[in-house]
Every structure is written in C-alpha cells, then in structure tokens.
Structure 1
Amino acid sequence: MNGAQAVIRTLVAGGVEVCFANPGTSEMHFVAALDDVPEMRAVLTLFEGVATGAADGYARMTGRPAATLLHLGPGLGNGLANLHNARRARVPLVNVVGDHALGHKRLDAPLESDIDAVAGTVSGWVRRSLTTGDVGADTTDAIAAARGWPGQVATLVLPADVSWSEGAAVGPVRHARPAPRVPDDGIEGLADVLGPSTVLFLGGTALQEAGLRAAAKVAAGTGTRLLAETFPARMQRGAGLPDVLKLPYPPDGARKQLDGVEHLVLAGAVEPVAFFGYPGTDGRLVPEGCTVHVLATPAEEVVAALQALADRVAADATPQVAEVRRPELPTGRLDLRAFAEVVGALLPERAVVVDEAVTSGYFLPGATVGAPGHDWLTLTGGAIGQGLPVATGAAVADPSRPVIALQADGSAMYTIQALWTQAREQLDVTTVVCDNGAYAILAAELENVGAASGGERAGRLLDLGGPALDFVALATGMGVPATRATTAEELAAQFRAALAEPGPHLIDAVLQR
C-alpha cells in the first residue's frame, strides 16, 4: 500500500474515524485513499479554520481525536486560530498537514514554508514523516501523543512523495494511557484548608457530572465555595446538577469574586489571570495573601481526586443541585435579557450549547441553570470564530443530540463557511446570531485600556454597519434555512420551529443595543 493508505488505515485502527478536510494538490493521494477506507468519514469544509474548530468540537464531545487534513503551511496558517483554541481546551486532535515532495522542497516553490515551526506554536507533538516505511509508526505515535493526558494537538507533516510511494505498512495499535492519580498524601494535606474562606477552583473534567457532584459534596460538608474556570471546554449543567458559577471575564468582576479568599485550591484548573494587561493593574487575579494549592493538575485524574477528597471531608454531605426552573417566555423588546429567557424557556433535553455569544450572553447562565441537563462549550482560547465550527464538530460527534450555537455577529463572520458544511452533512444545529451590529466587546475594551476617545474614526472600527450584515441571505446562500427575529415573540416562535425540524437552521436575532 502507499503511504496515504497506511496513514488512513492506521488512524482508523487507532480510533480516529472522522477527518475534517480542506485539501490541496499535496494531499490528493490522501484524498484518493479515502475510497479504499470507507470506515473513515471525510467531512469537507470550505475554510481550514472550520476544519480545525470542528475537530475541536468533536473531541470535546467524544473524548477521542478527529483528524484534520490541511494544505501546506498556508492551509495550516488558516486553521491556526482554532488550533490555538483546541490547545487551550486540552483536547486530542491529530492534525495532518501535507507538504511538498522531498525533492521539490529545495526549489523554494511559491507555497514553500516552515510548516514545522508554525505547527509547533499550537502542537504538543510535531513530526515529519521522511520515508514511506516510517509513516505507519509515525501515525501511531501521533495518535498516542494526541490521546495523552490531557489531550493535545499532534501534527503529522506528510510530504507528497511519502504519500504516493508504495511500501508502507499500517502502524501498530497503542492503547491510551490513563491519567496519573493524585497521591493520597496530597489529598490528605488539603483537608485542613477547606472552609468558608477557601475556593475550590474547577476546570477540565471536574466540570462534568461526576466531578461536579464530588466538588459539591466537599462544598456542602465544609462550606468551601466553588468556582469554575471562565471558559471551560465542556461543562455539564442544568436541573439536577450542581450549579457552579464561572469566574467572570472582566478582571474587576473576577477580583470581586475572589475578594477575601485565603486559600485557592486548583482542581483540574490553572491559576486564573486576566486575559489582558491593563494600565496600572496587575494581571494576576489571586488576592494578595491568598495561598494557592493544587489538588490535581489538568494532567492528573482530577475526578478521582475530588471523590477521594469528598470521602475524606464530607462523606455524609448532600450536595446542592439546581432545581427545575424555566423563565417565562418574554414579550416585546428583544434585548439581552429577552434573548436569554427565550433560550432558557425552550432549551431542549440533552442539548449541546456552543456559546460564543460574547457580550450578548450576560444573562444566559441564570436563564438556563434550571433547564433540562445539557452541555455548555465555550471559547477556551479567546480566538473568536470558534462557535460555528465547534458546533459543527459536536453535531458530527453525536447526531442524536440537538446542538444550539449562540453566536455573536462579528465573530460569526470569521468562520461563516461552517454553515455550508452543516447543510451538506444535514447536521442538527440551530444557530442564533446575536445581531447587535457591533464588536461590542471591543467597545468595552477601548475603555478598559484607557484609550477611549469617543472619536468617530475609532467608532467606525467597532461598528458592523454600512452595509449591515444580512445573515439570512448568507445562511440561505449556503443551504441553511434562515429567519430574522426583531421581537421576543418572533424569536421564541422561530427558535421553537427550528428545534422541531431536523437539519441546520439559523435565526438572525436583531438585538436592541
């Protein structure tokens, strides 16, 4: 078999069954080999950032890596922002990047670039297959690297002649290593610091059901307060599950949440810092005098550590959980509160919510906490344009679950091509565009950094009008049925109708500023 066939067969043998692709000339033998391996599902995307974001969303929902197929250095560059988000989400992802044939590289052709260097900025593992005989083992190593604990991006650079040459063999199957467990003495040592002046700061798998219940037992038995990292990769929430507040994004809000905390215990999370540096402020959010402790790092088995801690300090405690509670459907003005109340009132069971609403999502946590159990996926790395691709990958991962993409208008335009893939694959994704006609987050940051001038020219760089974006036309032009809502009643009716029909839909929710 040739090298491309060996790569795909090794991926499938290692549990990688989906490839999100935007290929070019150097990847054509990989494309042709897909016909020989029907077990590999190939999903075409129209932009590399959609491919990488979809692979991220798939991994968040399955815990398994998908593959991407990208074209040379420029294709990798186009996918880089969502590979950055995937790295911050700590998900497993096998990133296959085609390259020139080895003999062609010396000619410095127009698409020649340093792929390895670019890949290294977002990958925990990078390797270039130099011979066809190596390609099976290299692919096995890529899968193993991606599936380490925690997950990471593993990039395999595949020269065209290594793909087309014969003599390759399928690589061996290697089982993923379990996460290392936290020693008992590390758990015992934390028992004395728990109490009302302590925050147990949760991240990673601690925000899925088993971890949440264990952490809530610790809180119930000791008075310790719970907080979640600001942008979790996947958080399970809703009625019947513990309600854990996320640390706010604005630094002032985060500092207020942590004010007076004497001990901060990290459970699958890292020490919180501000997203940006601001004039005259310290980017570190932990209060002065607060001691930081580590129960479990993201690379350790945090759920088992939380369960052991709960058994040690709160064996008989009953954790508090959110009660069934839905907001009333609003009427009239379609503002941020009404938008959140519509989502909370109608959110279906087992929904997967992909939240890139940005400033429009202020009221969403409170409006959805009592809805039926659901998963919440967020913008882990802060590189906008993640929402629509992640929703695409989540829908591929589990077609039985409705996916709701709550999407800010400005960041939607980074990866709007994801709608075409949703239409082609007939994915059950309902997108609600939060259409306020502005980069509202940047207007706030202009003030935060002390640069606000109120000038017309600065304002034009934050405004999305002139011409206004027509999301209904954009969606229908890519095969996704779309409507526009300007009142709360219209949004509720359109959201309900979209959820009742299979396949993708988009609602342009025109929000009053």
Structure 2
Amino acid sequence: MNGAQSLLDTLVANDVEVCFANPGTSEMHFVAALDRVPAMRGVLALFEGVATGAADGYARMAGKPAGVLLHLGPGLGNGLANLHNARRAHTPMVVVVGDHATGHKRYDAPLESDIDAVARTVSGTVIRGADTAALAADTAAAIGAARAGAVATLILPADVSWSDGGAPPVTAAPATEPGVDHGALRRAAEILTSGAPTVLLIGGDATGEDGLAAAAAIAAGTGARLLVETFPARLRRGAGVPAPERLGYFAEAATAQLAGAEQLILAGAVSPVSFFAYPGKPSDLVPEGTAVHTLAGHRGAAAALAALAAEVAPGIVGPVAPAGRPELPGGPLTALSAAAVLGALLPAEAIVVDEANTAGVTLAAATAGAPAHDVLTLTGGAIGYGLPAAVGAAIAAPDRPVLAVQADGSAMYTISALWTQARERLNVTTVILNNGAYDILRIELARVGAADAAFGPKAAELLDLTSPGLDFVRIAGGMGVPARRVETAESLAEALRAAFAEPGPHLIDAVLPSLFAS
C-alpha cells in the first residue's frame, strides 16, 4: 500500500468521506488511490477557492470534518480566502496540500514555496508528512485537530505519497466536549440576577435550536438583552425558533444595540469590535465601563447556556418567532421586494447561504416567520463564499433545498462553483441580487471619510459593474446550470417556484436598482 492510499483509508475510517479537490501533478497518486478507496467521494472544483468554500459549507451542515485536496503553495494560496472564513467559523476541515518530492525541493523548481508558513496563517494545526509509514498516524492527528473545530493542514510530499509502506488506518482522537466552567457559570448567574443592565451575546454552537432556546429563556427570566454575533457560522431560525437580533454590521448600529449595558456576557462569541477602523471612531464596540465576562468559547456554549438557564430561569420558556410570511409583492424588483418574495416562498427546512451583502439587508426580517431553516453566513468576511458553500451544504444535506442568496460582485469571485453544482446535480437555487455595483464600497467610501456622497468619476468607475454588465444567464448556461433573468417581483416568484419544484441546480438573475441609482 502506498502513502496516498494509507491517507485515504484513514480519512474514511474516521468518517471523513468527501474530499473537495483541485489537484495537480504532485497529487496524482492521491487521485489514483481514489479508485482503491471507493468510500471516499471526490468532488472536483475548477478553482481552489471553490474547493475550500465547499468544504466549509459541507462541514457546517454535516457537523464533521470535510477533506480538501490542493496543489502546492499556489493552490493553497488560491484557496486562502475561504480557509480564512473557515478558520473564523471554527469549521472542522482536513486540508491536504501536495508538495514536491523531498529530494526535489532543493532545486527550487518554479512552484516551490514555503507551504508551511502560508498554511499557518489559516490553520490551527500544520503537519508535514515526512514518512510514508507514519502517514496514517499523521492523518489521524490532523482529523483529531479538525474535530476540535479548526482547519488542520497536512502537507503531503509527492514521494511520501507514492512510496510503498503505508500503514493501516489509525483511529483519530474523538472530539472532547469542553465541560461547563462552573466558576464562569456562577459569575454569570450573579451578574444576571444583580439587576445590572446586561447583554448576552451568543455565537459558536449556541446558535442551534437548543442554545437559542436556553439563551431566550435566560433573557426572558432575567431581563437581559439577547444578541447573536453578526455572522454566525450556522444559525437556526424561522417559525417556532427564538429570534434574537443579530449584532449590527456597521459599528454605529452595534454601538446602539450595546448602549447602556453595564455587563456583557459572551457565550460562544468574542468581544465585539468594528470590522474596520474609521477616523476618529473607536474600534472596541464595548461601551466604556462595561465589564466583559466569558461564559464559554465557541464549543460548549450551548451546554453552558442550558446550565445557566436552569440556574437563573428554571421552567421559563423564551419567546419564539410566530409563523408568518410577507405578502407577495408586485412591480419592479427592489431589494425590499426581492426579500419579500424569498420570505414568502422559502421552503421548509431550507438551507440559506447568505452572501447577499448590502442588497440583502431586509432578508432576515422577511424570512423571520418562514418555516424553520438554517442560515450559513460569511463568518470571516472574505467574499466569494456563498456559491461554494452552497455546493458543500447540498452535498452534506441532499434531501434539503439549498437557497444561495448572492450579491453580484462577490458571485464573480467563485462563479465556477456553478459548474460543480451542475456536475454533481445539486439541488441549489441561486438568486443573484444584481444591482450592478459594489454598493457596500460606495457606502464605505463615505464612511471612512475618503469622499462625500458625490464622489468623483474615477472612484465611481472602480465600484461600478455595468460597463460591461454581467450576464449571469449566459454565464450559468455555459456551465450547465439553467438560468433566467427577472426584473419584477412577479417573475421572481414564478422563477423561484419553478426552481424549487425541479431537481438540480438553477440560477435566477434578479435585476435590482443600486442603492445609489439616480
């Protein structure tokens, strides 16, 4: 048995059964070994950022590590943005990066680079497989690290992959659930029963149904204000589910939400800061004088909240979102009416991959009373996440409809994900909110003080996507995904109904006015 098969055998023996791949020459023995390890599903992506984003979406929905196969340092570099998102989301992932054969590295061939250094920027663990006989153990160590909620990178030299002497599969360490910190629990209970104005900010594994129920009970029983982090990795929401506000993206909104708090309790979330620095404004969003207390980290937050609810809110059930949908609107599409259509027609148990950005600001309100569903968000802020994550989510949950709500500019970063959707016949409906601009940057141009509302023509040109316009119908059709263009609320509703009723991927190019349209 060669090293590549030993690695693959260990992956599947530890329930890592999907590998999103964009391989090269150094990885050919891994590719060939797939035929000897039929339990591993290989999914081809045409760009490394699609492979890494798909692995992120898969692992968030499957609740277990995904595999990724990349080619040398440049391949890792191409996948880095979505690995950044995965790191921020604490997504379990095993990234196998092929490297030059050990004896070849000294020649400084054109693709030689410092893979280890690049991998450390996004990985909780980096392991260099230096010995074929030890590769199964190295793989198990990477899986164990991933199960703890991290990107684990395993660097695979070509000769270690092709050499014989691979060992049988090794069992990886199971994920150990962090116990409740009883000291932190007692302090949180004291704060919540003290009468001090308190905000409870949740994230991590507390944004599932159990964590939300416990947090809502605590808020109802103590009067604390409940908020969810701005970009949760996976958020359960909809009718019958507690519906706390999410912390605002813009610092001004978040500051208003936190105003007046004397105590801030973190459960699975980190202390809030602004996404960017702004002239004359603070980066730390915690009000001056507010004490910050950590109840639990990203793992174990739901369990800690359940214990806290039993202490401070026994027998209390927090409020949940009532069932209710927007009326179907009519007329020319706007961001508001597009969100209303999506809320009116969202199927039960949908997975919503939200990279709508500025065009989707009303989406959360429009879907609040829709049938219960899960939302995946842009946790790390690196755009180009939505289309690949929809691929992974659809593979992880093939019986659930996936709706990717996608801004036009960020869609182009990883548009080749549509090809993978078609190749794998995935049930993904993509709605492109096409306003022909980077509207978020038009907003930020003024917010950072670089220009007033009437910014000049050269600045405007760098933020405009209309010269030429993007024809998503033709792009999707060229990749095998049926598509149609819509410009009214009625036609969006018709297109959505048709897409949800027919298996396989579909794309809807929903044309909207820019927020800055004259």
Quick check: 2:196–2:263 contact (8 Å CA) kept in 1?
no
1:159 to 136, 157, 162: 157
Letter in 1 for 2:395: V
Task: Give the Cα separation in 2 of the matches to 1:332 and 1:349.
Answer: 26
Instruction: Give 1:63's aligned residue.
Output: 63
Could you say which residue in structure 1 is the equivalent of 2:189? Answer: 191
Task: Give CA-to-partner distance per residue, 1:10-49, whole Å, 9 cap, x none.
Answer: 0001110000000000000000000000000000000000
Could you tell me how far apart the structure 1 residues matched to 2:458 and 2:434 are?
22
Q: In the alignment, is the contact (CA less than 8 A) between 1:196 and 1:222 conserved in 2? A: no
State the alpha-carbon separation in 1 of the partners of residues 89 and 296 from structure 2.
17
Q: Is the 8 A contact 1:333 1:512 kept in 2?
A: no
Is 2:172 aligned against 1:174?
yes
**Deviations 1:238-260 (CA, angstroms, capped at 9, x unpaired):** 00010111001001111011111
Matches within 5 A, 1:293-308: 293-299=293-299, 301-308=300-307
Partner of 2:320: 321
Query: CA contact under 8 A between 1:196 and 1:223: conserved in structure 2?
Result: no
**Partner of 1:345 in structure 2?**
344
Q: For the residues of structure 1 that align with 2:147 and 2:471, how far apart are their CA atoms? A: 41
- Can you list the C-alpha shifts for 1:83-141, whole angstroms capped at 9, x where unaligned? 00000010100000001111111111000000000001000100111121111110010
Query: 2:93 is matched with which residue?
Result: 93
Q: Distance in 1 between matches of 2:123 and 2:247?
A: 27
SS of residue in 1 equivalent to 2:107? coil
1:473 is matched with: 474
Contact 1:231 1:379 (C-alpha < 8 Å) held by counterparts: yes
- Tell me the alpha carbon deviations over residues 259-301 of structure 1, each in whole angstroms, 9 at most, x when there is no partner: 11111100010101000001011110000111111111224x1
Letter in 2 for 1:57: G
Q: Secondary structure at the match of 1:94?
A: strand
1:196 Cα deviation after fit: 7.0
Instruction: Look up the SS of the partner of 1:304 in the other structure.
Output: helix
Conserved? CA contact 2:216–2:242, under 8 Å: yes
- Cα deviation digits, residues 50-83 of structure 1 (max 9, x gap): 0000000001001111110000000000000000
Structure 1 position 317, deviation (Å): 1.5
1:417-447 per-residue CA deviation (whole Å, 9 max, x = no partner) reads: 0000000000000000010000000001101
The answer to whether residue 362 in structure 2 is matched with residue 363 in structure 1 is yes
Indicate the percent of aligned positions where both proteins have the same amino acid. 65
Q: Residue 207 of structure 2 corresponds to which residue in structure 1?
A: 207
CA distance in 1, matches of 2:309, 2:435: 45
Contact 2:181/2:295 (<8 A) preserved: no
Shift of 1:186: 2.2
Counterpart of 2:73 in structure 1 is 73
Q: Report the equivalent of 2:394.
A: 395
SS in 2 for 1:112: coil
2:102 is matched with: 102
Q: Partner residue of 1:51?
A: 51
Displacement of 1:180 in angstroms is: 1.4
Distance 2:435 2:276 in 1: 24
Aligned length: 510
1:409 alignment partner in structure 2: 408
Deviation at 1:508, TM superposition (A): 0.2
1:508 corresponding residue in structure 2: 509
Question: Counterpart amino acid of 1:455?
Answer: G
2:247 pairs with 1:258: no
Question: Do the aligned residues in 2 keep the contact of 1:46 with 1:417 (CA within 8 Å)?
Answer: yes
Which consecutive segments of 4 or more residues in structure 1 shift more than 3 A? none
Equivalent position SS for 2:122: coil
Distance 1:170 1:380 in 2: 37
Please state whether the residue corresponding to 2:413 is helix, strand or coil: coil
Q: What is the CA–CA distance in structure 2 between the aligned matches of 1:375 and 1:249, rounded to whole Å?
A: 20
Secondary structure of the residue aligned to 1:190 is helix
Partner Cα separation in structure 1 for residue 168 and residue 419 of structure 2 = 34
Q: 1:498 matched to which residue of 2?
A: 499
Deviations 1:360-409 (A, max 9, x none): 11111111010000001000111000000001000000100000000000
Alignment correspondent of 2:240: 240
Please say if residues 388 and 416 of structure 1, whose CA atoms lie closer than 8 Å, have aligned partners that are also in contact: yes
Task: Tell me the residue number matched to 2:459.
Answer: 458
- Aligned-pair CA distance for 1:192: 2.5
**Distance in 2 separating the partners of 1:298 and 1:44:** 31
Q: Return the alpha-carbon distance in structure 2 between the equivalents of residues 98 and 63 of structure 1.
A: 26
Amino acid at match of 2:185: I
CA distance in 2, matches of 1:316, 1:153: 39
Deviation track 1:317-365 (CA, whole Å, cap 9, x = no partner) reads 1210010010000000210110110010000000000000000111111
Q: Report the more deviating stretch, 308-317 or 417-426.
A: 308-317
Does structure 2 conserve the Cα–Cα contact (< 8 Å) formed by 1:196 and 1:225?
A: no
Which residues of structure 1 form unaligned runs of 5+? none
Matched position secondary structure for 2:30: helix
CA distance in 2, matches of 1:196, 1:415: 47
Q: Does the Cα contact within 8 Å between 1:267 and 1:302 map onto a contact in 2?
A: yes
Q: Contact (CA 8 Å) 2:398, 2:427: kept in 1 or not? A: yes
- Asked if 2 retains the 8 angstrom alpha-carbon contact of 1:137 and 1:170, the reply is no
Aligned to 2:38: 38
Instruction: Kindly indicate whether the alpha-carbon contact (under 8 Å) linking 1:202 and 1:228 is maintained by their aligned counterparts in 2.
Output: yes
Query: What secondary structure does 2:98 align onto?
Result: strand
1:97 and 1:4 map into 2 onto residues whose CA distance is 12
Look up the match of 2:371. 372
Distance 1:479 1:297 in 2: 43
**Following the alignment from structure 1 to structure 2, what is the Cα–Cα distance between the partners of residues 196 and 469?**
53
- Per-residue displacement from partner, 1:138-187 (whole Å, max 9, x unpaired)? 00101001111xx1000000001111110111242134132211232321
| Partner SS state of residue 430, structure 1 | strand
**Counterpart residue number, 1:139:** 139
Q: Which residues in structure 2 correspond to 1:216-227 (within 5 Å)? A: 216-227=216-227
Q: Which residue of 2 is the match for residue 15 of structure 1?
A: 15
Q: d(CA) in 2 for partners of 1:411 and 1:196? A: 43
TM normalised by structure 1 equals 0.98
Normalised by the length of structure 2, the TM-score is 0.97
CA distance in 2, matches of 1:173, 1:2: 19
